[in-house]
Amino acid sequence: MKAETWTILSVGIFFALIAPVYWVLSYDPTGTTALVMTFLLCALLGFYLGVVAKQIPERPEDRSDGEIADGAGEQGFFPPYSWWPLFCAAALAVVVLGVVIGWWLFIIGIGLGAVMVVGWIFEYYRGIHAH
């Protein structure tokens, strides 16, 4: 993950250099704030990738002598499909609609959202995809 870390950090350095130049040339607080926040996001993501890269063993793609065959085997668990994100989005839509229409709908949406999030979290503990 060293390549990913340095790519994100390079983008962050670019935004850190551009933000003051943008401010001097335009005096636009909104755009400058967006550039600073983009720099902070890149710094956070780069830091995270750097920490994770030190915790995992070296990957074949991080080595200069790595071969394609070195990466053979199981790569991880990838879920086949899930309906829960759709239901969570629908519950969020009810919550947002509740802010507009009335607090009673907001409370119903929060209740539905809690049920949907619990269903999404425990999706692989029951049913055909149980582990």
Per-residue pLDDT of 6-30, as tens digits, reads 999 999 999 999 999 999 999 999 9
Confidence at residue 129, expressed as pLDDT on a 0 to 100 scale = 67
Task: Please state, in angstroms and rounded to a whole number, the distance separating the CA atoms of residues 18 and 26.
Answer: 12
84-120 pLDDT per residue, tens:
999 999 999 999 999 999 999 999 999 999 999 999 9
Helices vs. strands in the chain: H and E counts, helices first: 4, 0
Rounded Cα gap, residues 47 and 45, in angstroms? 5
- Give pLDDT tens digits for 79-92: 778 899 999 999 99
Q: Does the predicted model carry a pTM greater than 0.85?
A: no
